[in-house]
Amino acid sequence: MGRVDGKVAFITGAARGQGRSHALRLAEEGADIIALDMCRPLTSARYNLASPLDLADTAREIRALGRRVAAFEADVRDDCALRKAFEAGVGEIGPVDIVIANAGVALFAVDEAYDAWQDTIDINLTGVFNTMEIVVPSMIDRGAGGSIVLTSSTAGLRGVLGPSRAALGYVASKHGVVGLMRSYANILAPHSIRVNSVHPSAVKTPMLTAASMTAFLEANPQISAGFTTPMPIDVLDSRDVSNAVLYLVSDEGRYVTGTTLPIDGGRTNKN
């Protein structure tokens, strides 16, 4: 018996990195998945976002685990496309019990684009808001409760990352996600829909290992020094975050709502 047997999870940013990891971890525990990703380049990004092939790989790996999957290319900034994908996914796989609003960008780079602030806010904050506005009414109407996890960051709890437009946008967007989480947790509690946020420190994904990110951190040693954790770890594996997400969305977390869960080796608690 899996920990989320027979549940349906809608996951944004699922083509690779943490989103793919969450999809596979939940599928291992019995969930069917509606996977969504933009799968297109972003002009202000100095690294490649996921490709359609990445999304197809996620879907293939879910099927290999014996679970059902429907995968869609859509941008979380585009609420019409997002709604169309969500409704098509529900039509194919079934109504959702679990939502993981994980899609995001980190646009800080040595030569960051002027648009980096706005694109970061649009994707990391408005994209999460769009996701909530689309999923919540159907979850309420269904009356079966549910669990929603919003992906923030340790940068959603602390004023780290320095003065660049993209970094300020990242910190502001990830703090904004906490505001959304806290409000929706209150609004949705009477419907037995739980809402929490996860706050990972550095996770080894293409976002972190991109050459543009490495160059940014090398050029800003005071910022990279802030990545160190009290526990003797370098970076997290995506699965470390997925296991925390799994706890929150499973019945083990059935009375946990409105919380900010750091997965950070003690980073947030450090001065």
Ligand X SMILES: NC(=O)c1ccc[n+]([C@@H]2O[C@H](COP(=O)([O-])OP(=O)(O)OC[C@H]3O[C@@H](n4cnc5c(N)ncnc54)[C@H](O)[C@@H]3O)[C@@H](O)[C@H]2O)c1
Kindly write out the interface string for residues 106-135 of this chain, putting x where it contacts ligand X by CB under 6 A and - elsewhere: x----------------x---x--------
Phi, then psi, of 74 in degrees rounded to 5: -160, 155
Q: Is 9 left (phi over 0), alpha (psi -120 to 50) or beta?
A: beta
Contact call for residues 56 and 63 (beta carbons, < 8 A):
no
Using the minimum distance from each CB to ligand X, give the nearer residue, 60 or 254: 60
- In angstroms, the CA 52 to CA 88 distance is 18
Using the minimum distance from each CB to ligand X, give the nearer residue, 88 or 140: 88
Contact call for residues 147 and 97 (beta carbons, < 8 A):
yes
Using the minimum distance from each CB to ligand X, give the nearer residue, 93 or 108: 108
Which of 170, 184, 247, 255 is catalytic? The answer is 170
- In angstroms, the CA 40 to CA 81 distance is 14
Given the rule CB under 6 A, which of 85-93, 101-109, 157-165, 179-187 is the region that contacts ligand X? 101-109
- Could you tell me the end-to-end alpha-carbon distance of the chain, in angstroms, rounded to an integer? 42
* CA dist 208 → 32, 95, 146, 171, 202 (Å): 28, 33, 31, 16, 7
Interacting residue with ligand X among 4, 116, 125, 203 (CB under 6 A): 203
Q: Which residue in 227, 237, 207, 226 sits closest to 108, CA to CA?
A: 207
Given the rule CB under 6 A, which of 73-81, 131-139, 140-148, 249-257 is the region that contacts ligand X? 73-81
Our finding on whether 181 is near ligand X (CB under 6 A) is: no
Using the minimum distance from each CB to ligand X, give the nearer residue, 15 or 188: 15
Interacting residue with ligand X among 4, 7, 11, 16 (CB under 6 A): 16
Identify whether 255 is a catalytic site residue.
no
Give the total of residues touching ligand X (CB under 6 A): 30
Active site residues: 170
**Binding footprint of ligand X on the chain (CB under 6 A):** 12-13, 15-19, 37-38, 49-50, 75-77, 102-106, 123, 127, 151, 153, 200, 202-203, 205-208
